Copies of this chain bind each other. A is one copy, B any other.
Amino acid sequence: MHSSALVACLAQETCTIPGMEAALELDAIDRRILRALQQDGRVTYDALAAEAGLSSSAVLRRVRRLEEAGVIASYVALVPPERVGLGLTAYINVRLEKQTDNPLRNPRDLFRAAVQTWPEVVECAALTGEMDYLLRVLVQDMQHYARFIGDTLLMHPSVQDCKTSFVLERLKNTTAVPV
């Protein structure tokens, strides 16, 4: 799939392999725009222009370029979980089985697919070290956590065991990356 894309694109002038785009060069103005939009995704182009020292149409063109390059992936509304009744956050380290009963489906693929279907899992990363995966899970309370662990996570054939840490306090939590 990737190799065919590579072949196809070597035959042309420009080349864009998914996930391997060249790192877009960002000047000082681009960075100011990104910082502002990461703080307020609905800031007007006039306000952006004033901050960047450009006209709004010039800013608009830069924003479009950043969007098309994937530097700006999306615009979203942020909802604090505790405001919608999700008062308990857990980080769960998960270790997978080495193999499952069905040799055709390995634990990793099974787990990857399952994680996508579990709405309480908002973050999942494969990690170096002893435990295979780290999950961030949002639940209403301890009872819902117990149900997620007992009925969902540990019941899954790909999962060997897990270790949980609960969030006592959130000191910092930003979607803004430093640019």
The residues of A with any CB-CB pair to B shorter than 8 Å are 23-24, 26, 34, 37-42, 69-81, 83-86, 89, 91, 112, 115-116, 119-129, 131, 133-134, 138, 165-179
User: Are the C-beta atoms of A84 and B177 separated by less than 8 Å?
Assistant: yes
Chain B residues with Cβ below 8 Å from A175 are 76, 78, 122, 175
Each complex incorporates copies of this chain amounting to: 2
Partner of A127, one of B74, B131, B166, B179: B166
Return chain B residues, CB-CB under 8 Å to A37: 76-77
Give the docked Cα–Cα distance between A89 and B175 (Å): 14
Choose one: B34, B77, B112; the contact of A41 (CB below 8 Å): B77
Q: Chain B: which residue is nearest A84 at the CB level?
A: B179
B residues within 8 A CB of A39? 76
A172 proximity list for chain B (CB < 8 A): 115-116, 121-124
> Of B78, B119, B178, which is within 8 A of A120 by CB?
B178
A128 engages B165 (CB within 8 Å): yes
Given contacts A127-B167, A128-B165, A178-B120, contact A73 B69 (CB under 8 A): no
A131 to B38, CA, bound (A): 31
Bound-complex Cα distance A2 to B148 (A): 35
